[in-house]
Amino acid sequence: MYKELAHPFRPWHGLTMADRKQFQSSLTVTPRLKQLLEEARSRELTEAELQEQRVSFAFGNAPDSDLITKESVRRTSQHIRLSR
C-alpha cells in the first residue's frame, strides 16, 4: 500500500487519488455535524481568526525544516501586507 516517496516535500507525489488516505474512509454526516456545518457557513470570522488561518496554511505548506516553526511563520506574517 505505501509506496516509496518520490519527492520529499510532496508525500502525495506519485500516488493516485485512490491511494490518498482521505478517500479511503466511509464517513457519514450526522445530523449534528450537518447543523454545525450550517452554523459555520453563516458565521463571520474575526480578523484574528483569519490571520491564524493564514499562519496555519503557510506553516502547513512550508518545506520541512527545523528553522520553520508556527511561531516563526506568525512573526513573519506580521510584516506581510495582504491586499483585498
Helices 70-77, 47-61: axis angle to 10 degrees equals: 120
Give me the pLDDT at residue 28, please.
84
Q: What is the mean pLDDT of the chain?
A: 81
Q: Which residue has the higher pLDDT, 9 or 26?
A: 26
Q: What is the SS3 assignment for 28?
A: coil
Q: Which residue has the higher pLDDT, 54 or 23?
A: 54
| Domains in the chain: boundaries | 17-77
14: left (phi over 0), alpha (psi -120 to 50) or beta: left
Give me the pLDDT at residue 26, please.
76
Give me the pLDDT at residue 22, please.
63
- Counting other chains too, the contacts that 76-80 makes at CB distance below 8 Å and 24 or more residues apart are 77/51
pLDDT class of 2 with cuts at 50, 70, 90: very low
Q: What is the SS3 assignment for 46?
A: coil
Question: How many CB atoms are located within 10 Å of the residue 47 CB?
Answer: 7
Question: pTM of this prediction?
Answer: 0.54
